[in-house]
A and B are shown apart, each in its own frame.
Chain A
């Protein structure tokens, strides 16, 4: 038995999967930008993905902002740099935690739901039925979700940024005894447009990744309830890993020297 064979097979399998995903992503994207569009489906998905994710994203970012203020305060107190808490909170929230946490939470909430819904449609032949009714499933099922995810995640992240900074503010003022005016002033002092903008770009990419992985895994699910379950798991896991990978790549592109 050739010891290199399993290695080669794993590599080929990986390339195969990557190629399939790339073709799927390109096909889906091309259907997002070509008519006909289904505006009412896009709006419905925007409500599902955006509006209904607000509580989850809001709570996550609120507590992250709070813990960030607490941690950086106790940490920075060791070298008397407590004044930097506001800056640390706002930069961490806008550049990193806002988009990544929102992306991961939405991957769990929306990515799983998309994979389960489309996967069930696949195994009950509803996707085949769409085709026989002269409706392209890419246009009817996938494009609205991709468009809604890519557009709504930046909105969610912007709201999450504000809530997170507010969480840091609450802890700093009511627990750590900061002066409110000074805290708000130092929040704004070092914040630059690029900090928020890079976070929103990340959010758009993460929104695309989450909905794409949900659609891809659901669309290719096989074999009944178990297949749908596997598709759901894969959608969340692969979206989470891709989010963290692209988080690094985008950060490198924006701020790498």
Chain B
């Protein structure tokens, strides 16, 4: 059996006395698209931030390509991040830069390419997400939410990363734009052959962009299986979540993290 692309073992993370991740285990194989579903505040974002090195887990092990990423020097960590792309929930575009500079940011700052070459690649990536070259000169603030998501996607794939994270890719979009983004994600991921990890609470989106789904509840993965089998999970938590029922074993947390 090959080493998984990303491996989380017994990851714990707490803020103050609030336990967020409580022994999380998850393996993501090379080329696999995994979606983690779960309600608000169960630790989905924290999981991704731990893998990215934005947060350090209190306990446990995180490996990328079989190498532990905890306790890496900042130079090693940067090298790992260079093969990771991320689409943020709000886009997180740099508003001091225009659209093409945003897309080219990883190429210019991260990889040190010259601006002209980076601009050409950026325009290609913008075209890949269905945006014309005239958009490249606009400022991110001039774009609608859906357009910002597209630019964010273009930025995430610009350096042709091996791993891509999607944080709530369809949240805050209308259903049509949400589906457009889903299609773009599937298309881009197939072209790159990337390994992806997404977090969402949009079940339609999860079904479309994943080949495996894992359900996170109270800091642990309580169910994981191929996307096709989610309707027959036999797990009352999963059933309640995918059918969006107020009644069931899951009780809503009042306070956010």
Contact = CB atoms under 8 A, between A and B. Distances in A.
B49 interface: yes
Interface residues of A, number: 13
A68 to B, nearest CB: 40
B84 interface: yes
Nearest to A125: B92
Contacts of B95: 126
Contact-size category for B: 20 to 34
Contact of A135 (B85, B90, B110): B110
Nearest to A132: B86
Given A125-B92, A126-B94, A129-B94, A134 B81 contact: yes
A134 B159 CA distance: 11
Nearest to B80: A134
A140 B96 CA distance: 13
A5 B155 CA distance: 51
B89 interface: yes
B88 A128 contact: yes
Nearest to A123: B90
Nearest to B90: A124
Interface in A86-122: 121
B207 interface: no
A117 B109 CA distance: 20
A121 B92 CA distance: 8
Nearest to B106: A133
B166 interface: no
B217 interface: no
10 contacts: A125-B92, A128-B86, A129-B86, A132-B52, A132-B81, A132-B85, A132-B165, A133-B105, A134-B106, A136-B78
User: Closest 7 interchain pairs by CB?
Assistant: A134-B110, A125-B92, A129-B92, A133-B106, A132-B86, A134-B82, A135-B109
